[in-house]
Amino acid sequence: MTEDSENRRTETWAEPESSGGHRRAIEASEATNYSIFNVAPVGVGLVVDRVFKEVNDCLCSMVGFSENEILGKSARILYPTEEEYDLVCREKFTQIKERCKGMVETRWQRKDGVQINVLLSSVPLIADDTTAGIVFTALDITDRKRTEAALRDSQALLQVAIENLPFDLYTIGADGRYSLQNLACRRHWGNVIGKRPADVAPNAEVQRLWEENNRHALSGETVDTEVRLSYRGRDLVYRNIIAPIRKDTGIDGILGINIDISPRKEAERAQREGEDKYRALADNIPIGIYRSLPRKGASLVSANPAMVTMFGYDIDTPGFDTISVDDLYAKPEDRAVMLETMRSRGAVDNHEVLFKRLDGSTFWGALAARTILGDDGQIQFIDGTIRDITEAKRAQEDLKATLGALQRTLEGTVSAMASMVELRDPYTSGHQRQVAKLASAIAVDMGLSASQVAAVSLAGAVHDVGKIAIPTEILSKPGAISDIEMELIRTHAQAGHDILSTIESPWPIAEIVLQHHERLDGSGYPSGLKGDAIMLQARIMAVADTVEAMVSHRPYRPAPGVDAAIRALLDGSGILFDPEVVTVCIDLLNAGEIRLGD
């Protein structure tokens, strides 16, 4: 407060001389009230005939005006428009007339032009007499309003996400009736709101299972079961997950999810059939197939019938899988050399070894083998094939003796079985973040607009969201995958697009996610787009996704590293990847401005 206003207030509040004690008590009370007025943590003021007569320091600080700039001015000075000012005055005085007090949310405009949200609470200085003045408090609720808006946006986004999930989601209230269902649930089961599970179940067995699961959930358990049923002419398999909805007062209902796993079950059936065919092939092929442990003296883990009979054992006589692999070599040192080669190179191909049968006789075999790594990156198994080349070796030796000066012929004609391509384990919430970070940095260096950079960053953070539709068993499978599984995995780009396209956004996030596996030469998926038909943001994402995958460790292999990633980009530049994007990315990596794989 200024000195003039202090003097003015002292003169205004001064009492005529009376008894000393009474006067001092009044002065003390006034001093106390004034202190409270001035140090109040909210804006406080007095308006007479819409003109400021008193304001405290907090109000001045709130609006950016000094006391001298406010006192004697119309309250209109704080409102952005005349209409808003008049509206607040009418509403405030109407409330005061009806309830002797008024409370209005409005906007004020600070001296610097910034608008703030304010909660005004007003009462007459003298009851039933607004002409004497209005005392008001002003609370800055700008942050609260922003929080409320953000909460509304978050709730709306959550609602959209729930509504457009690719699987059924529903809730059942404490009364046993459906209280919420999303779009997928309505499509599959119709409108079930207000109904009981018994009204919806297609048959008595499903009804019994649902009701049993619901009872467990209402007792506090989370239930995860598979439900088989025939519905609308289709044989379906659903994964039914039910969990209790807990409140402070206890369990208030259940949340349920139905995931149609019929395609997965069909894929598993097809995979089993494929495995059965492979097993039949392995059992009947005239080449030894085996798996062993990678240490000296270890026994075989498995072997096919051709392997057993090749070493002179009877397939119906147990014992072959208990002997040491070292004992199968005519020269034990050859086994040690092979193990060392496997550790250093990871594979051998068409390696000729002299083996020993049960009866002590020997034969030459062409060995092809590769290492299988465990989750710790260490060698867990050695898988291999052995082809008996004794006759071929004898023919070679006979030919060499007959022709004399001829050089040794090529050692073998049949290559080892083709290795199945190992797929990575499911990406962590860290892979997507790293891709988003690198893709954003590339976009910035390429001079993209702030809006385009934001689109790249957001798309990078969710580019693998479509994997929610891929069975976990496939994503986490440590070994080779089938064509059917690959086709399922390749659906994640389209699935991600389908999920994200239901959410309103100013950026083409869904399209970026859809195209992030497309390649310049048309070899990508899902649409085989070429060249400029692929969005620039998606071309950036393709490079960032490739680099991050190569510099990050995976459970089944160590990270190839930055150098390998750079080589891959250079090899694919102009063929798979956008050359400009490649150049910018490599510059960032070489400069050390982006750290990945942490």
Q: Residue 441 belongs to a domain with what CATH number?
A: 1.10.3210.10
Torsion of CA 578, 583, 585, 586, to 10 degrees: 130
Is residue 31 a part of any domain in this protein? no
If asked whether residues 534 and 465 sit together in one domain, one would say yes
Bridge pairing between strands 178-181 and 223-231: unpaired
Is residue 398 a part of any domain in this protein? yes
Q: What angle do CA 281, 286, 291 make, to 5 degrees?
A: 70
- As a whole number of angstroms, the distance between CA 113 and CA 106 comes to 16
If asked whether residues 437 and 541 sit together in one domain, one would say yes
Q: What angle do CA 118, 122, 125 make, to 5 degrees?
A: 145
Q: Which residue has the tokens 């883990």?
A: 301
If asked whether residues 315 and 185 sit together in one domain, one would say no
**pLDDT of 523-545, one tens digit each?**
999 999 999 999 999 999 999 99
If asked whether residues 436 and 584 sit together in one domain, one would say yes
Q: Which DSSP string corresponds to 448-460?
A: --HHHHHHHHHHH
3-state secondary structure of 346: coil
Residue 456 tokens read as: 């790249």
Q: Domain boundary residue among 403, 438, 473? A: 403
Helix 536-551 to helix 562-572 angle (10° resolution) is 140
If asked whether residues 466 and 502 sit together in one domain, one would say yes
Question: Which residues neighbour 415 within 8 Å (Cβ) at sequence distance 6 or greater?
Answer: 349, 350, 368
What is the structure's pLDDT at 416?
A: 26
If asked whether residues 528 and 495 sit together in one domain, one would say yes
If asked whether residues 446 and 579 sit together in one domain, one would say yes
Is residue 423 a part of any domain in this protein? no
Where residue 209 sits, what CATH number does that domain have? 3.30.450.20
- As a whole number of angstroms, the distance between CA 442 and CA 594 comes to 10
Torsion of CA 425, 428, 430, 431, to 10 degrees: 40
Q: Domain boundary residue among 80, 114, 140? A: 140
Radius of gyration of the chain (CA): 39
pTM above 0.85, yes or no: no
Is residue 270 a part of any domain in this protein? no
What is the structure's pLDDT at 230?
A: 73
Is residue 418 a part of any domain in this protein? no
- As a whole number of angstroms, the distance between CA 51 and CA 481 comes to 79
- As a whole number of angstroms, the distance between CA 150 and CA 88 comes to 26
Three-state DSSP string of 504-524: CCCCCHHHHHHHCCCCCECCC
Is residue 97 a part of any domain in this protein? yes
Is residue 4 a part of any domain in this protein? no
Q: Domain boundary residue among 92, 119, 140? A: 140
- As a whole number of angstroms, the distance between CA 498 and CA 493 comes to 9
If we measure between CA atoms, which residue out of 263, 205, 204, 268 comes closest to residue 234?
Answer: 263
- For the chain, how far is it from start to end, CA to CA, in angstroms? 57
In this prediction, the residues of the chain whose per-residue pLDDT falls under 70 are: 1-36, 38-39, 231-233, 274-284, 315-321, 398-429, 472, 475-479, 554-557, 593, 596-598
- As a whole number of angstroms, the distance between CA 370 and CA 515 comes to 35
What is the structure's pLDDT at 325?
A: 82
If asked whether residues 439 and 393 sit together in one domain, one would say no
Under a CB-based contact definition with an 8 Å cutoff, are residues 57 and 71 in contact? no
- As a whole number of angstroms, the distance between CA 347 and CA 157 comes to 51
**pLDDT of 340-379, one tens digit each?**
888 888 888 888 889 888 888 988 988 888 888 888 888 8
What is the structure's pLDDT at 399?
A: 58
Q: Where does residue 480 fall: left (phi above 0), alpha (psi -120 to 50 degrees), or beta otherwise?
A: beta
If asked whether residues 91 and 212 sit together in one domain, one would say no
Q: Domain span at residue 241?
A: 147-260
If asked whether residues 136 and 151 sit together in one domain, one would say no
Is residue 48 a part of any domain in this protein? yes
If asked whether residues 155 and 256 sit together in one domain, one would say yes
Domain tally, the chain? 4
Under a CB-based contact definition with an 8 Å cutoff, are residues 466 and 497 in contact? yes
If asked whether residues 449 and 566 sit together in one domain, one would say yes
Under a CB-based contact definition with an 8 Å cutoff, are residues 381 and 302 in contact? no
